[in-house]
Amino acid sequence: MKNICTLQFQKAVDAIKHTKTVMYKHGVWNEYYMRKTEDVIKSIQDSGYGADVRYDENSDRYFVSVPCDADMW
């Protein structure tokens, strides 16, 4: 997987805005699940930390991880 950005807001949104769905998780201990990109963008913008975005060339899919408050302590 290729790392696109770490804990970014606008760069994370720009990386995924051309897609319809992405794999998403909130909190490091949770599993990824498919979600509409427009909903994920709102989650990124509403988060206090931004998001990590990675791209998997094999599946042609973006993976977005938004940390929860407990992850940051």
Residue 23: count of CB within 10 angstroms of its CB:
18
Which residues on adjacent β-strands are paired with residue 6? Answer: none
Q: Determine the structural domain holding residue 34 and report its residue range.
A: 2-72
Nearest to 20, CA basis, from 2, 4, 40: 40
Reading the block at residue 51, the tokens are 């998001």
* Whole-prediction pTM: 0.92
Q: How many domains does the chain have?
A: 1
pLDDT digits over 11-69, tens only?
999 999 999 999 999 988 899 999 999 999 999 999 989 999 999 999 999 999 999 87
Q: Please determine, for residue 71, whether its predicted confidence score (pLDDT) is greater than 80.
A: no
Nearest to 66, CA basis, from 10, 16, 12: 12
More confident residue, 70 or 44: 44
Nearest to 19, CA basis, from 61, 64, 52: 61
Residue 20: count of CB within 10 angstroms of its CB:
9
Q: Please determine, for residue 72, whether its predicted confidence score (pLDDT) is greater than 80.
A: no
pLDDT classification of 9: cutoffs 50, 70, 90: very high
